[in-house]
Amino acid sequence: MFKELPLLKEEKKNITLFYPHYPKNYLEALKKIFQTRWIGQGPLVDKLEVIFEKKFTNNFPCIAVGSGTDALHLAYILADIKKDDEVICPVFTCTATNIPLLYLEAKIKFADIDPDTMNINTEHVKKLITKKTKAIVFVNYGGLPCNLEELNIIAKKNKIKLIQDAAHSLGATYKNKKITSFADFTIFSFQAIKQITCGDGGMLVLKNKKLLDKAKRIRWFGIDRKAKQGGTWKNDIKEVGYKYQMTDIGASLLIESIKEFKNIFSLRSKIFNTYKNILKKNKNVKIVNDNSQSKHACWLFTIIIKKKDYLQKKLRNFGIETNQVHFRNDKYSIFKNFAKGKKFKYMDLIENKYLVLPIHTKMMIKDAEKIGNIINKLI
């Protein structure tokens, strides 16, 4: 039986699976913050939202929040998901995708994966739709966009909301369009190990601009902050809100990281393609790959192999950290009511066969070459 491995120690010779990216001017940016009155949500959060809209969203409005999970919860509220509404979700994702639906007491209907991409299986999605279906939630696993066109068609045909968890896929495109063009709501994550980070944070992108004011209110206790800061301190609260705001400290780090995003994306792409070029020659390795319709965001590089446990242990002997990162959600006790009696053919098929290799900006191309060549020698 495979013994799970602890985190690899951070030593010079080791190659860790993840490493946060710190922008080169982060100390200077933080110093400026601590010379102002704003360390919570202030003018830099507003500035970040404007920068992010122009860079990543096709100018759809967005609001910065404390985490990707916060953004998902707000998206579900704005999509009007209520108790007992059915929501189709990926069985394979970070639990953050699905846990906020438990807050709302919605009924989760898990969809299987596509065995080639590990994204949501659109054929299974079609079979799960009923008159009670309120929304489809999907994740672009590893940074590879799902079949966004098909999901869009399915959602429109059935008059249901489409919610995109793009926590993995900052910078990805689909048919040369920004991925935010295809869903009613899109969320991004700035958690510690994402392409850019502020320790933790998120962004909610809205296709319907009319929802922006409501989104801003429920981000902050249901209070109209603009009215309050304009002098109306007793403005009424008419809807339940949350404390989901981003701080100017976080926004300052993200603004600096966005300045470097072109270089971050370039390095991650080179590492991704280095692995791909070396491992595609190995008949024992299947690469969870990109396709001609999409530009991959290169957050994860995932392979599927029969001897996953063997390879993971052998790579650890070389000081190389690998793991599975996300796990099938139907096996967690909190989701047992939605998984009872359900089978997921493709998830079952590869459950113990996928492995994620390191990609981060502390690596060099030669590190990816080393890892790829070692794998080819081992299996």
Q: What CATH number corresponds to the domain at position 360?
A: 3.90.1150.10
Of the candidates 259, 293, 323, which is a domain's last residue? 259
What is the reported pTM?
Answer: 0.96
Average pLDDT of span 43-70: 97
For residues 339 and 374, state if they share a domain.
yes
Contact 361, 264 (CB under 8 A): yes
d(CA 149, CA 111): 18
Residue-wise pLDDT tens digits, 361-379: 999 999 999 999 999 999 9
For residues 220 and 80, state if they share a domain.
yes
For residues 195 and 308, state if they share a domain.
no
For residues 105 and 157, state if they share a domain.
yes
For residues 242 and 291, state if they share a domain.
no
d(CA 229, CA 37): 14
Of the candidates 239, 259, 279, which is a domain's last residue? 259
* Chain center to CA of 136: 16
Taking residue 292's Cβ as centre, other Cβ atoms within 10 Å add up to 5
For residues 238 and 273, state if they share a domain.
no
- Residue 11 within any structural domain of the chain: no
Amino acid at 107: K
- Residue 55 within any structural domain of the chain: yes
Does residue 192 have a pLDDT over 90? yes
Q: What CATH number corresponds to the domain at position 48?
A: 3.40.640.10
Does residue 226 have a pLDDT over 60? yes
- Residue 296 within any structural domain of the chain: yes
- Residue 12 within any structural domain of the chain: no
- Residue 9 within any structural domain of the chain: no
Average pLDDT of span 8-29: 94
For residues 268 and 250, state if they share a domain.
no
Number of domains in the chain: 2
pLDDT band at residue 11 under the 50/70/90 scheme? confident
For residues 331 and 242, state if they share a domain.
no
* Chain center to CA of 87: 18
Question: How high is the pLDDT of residue 293?
Answer: 83
For residues 88 and 170, state if they share a domain.
yes
**Domain that includes residue 310, residue range:** 261-378
d(CA 216, CA 60): 15
96-134 as b/e, with b when 16 or more CB fall inside 10 Å? bbbbbbeebebbbbbbbbbeebbbbbbebbeebbeeebb
Question: To which residue do tokens 């926004």 refer?
Answer: 251
Burial grade of 252 (CB within 10 A; 0-12, 13-18, 19 or more) = buried
Question: How high is the pLDDT of residue 1?
Answer: 56
For residues 124 and 246, state if they share a domain.
yes
For residues 212 and 294, state if they share a domain.
no
Does residue 60 have a pLDDT over 90? yes
- Residue 20 within any structural domain of the chain: no
For residues 165 and 59, state if they share a domain.
yes
Average pLDDT of span 288-302: 89
Contact 83, 286 (CB under 8 A): no
- Residue 1 within any structural domain of the chain: no
Residue-wise pLDDT tens digits, 83-137: 999 999 999 999 999 999 999 999 999 999 999 999 999 999 999 999 999 999 9
Of the candidates 259, 286, 307, which is a domain's last residue? 259
| Phi, psi of 205, rounded to the nearest 5 degrees | -110, 130
- Residue 358 within any structural domain of the chain: yes
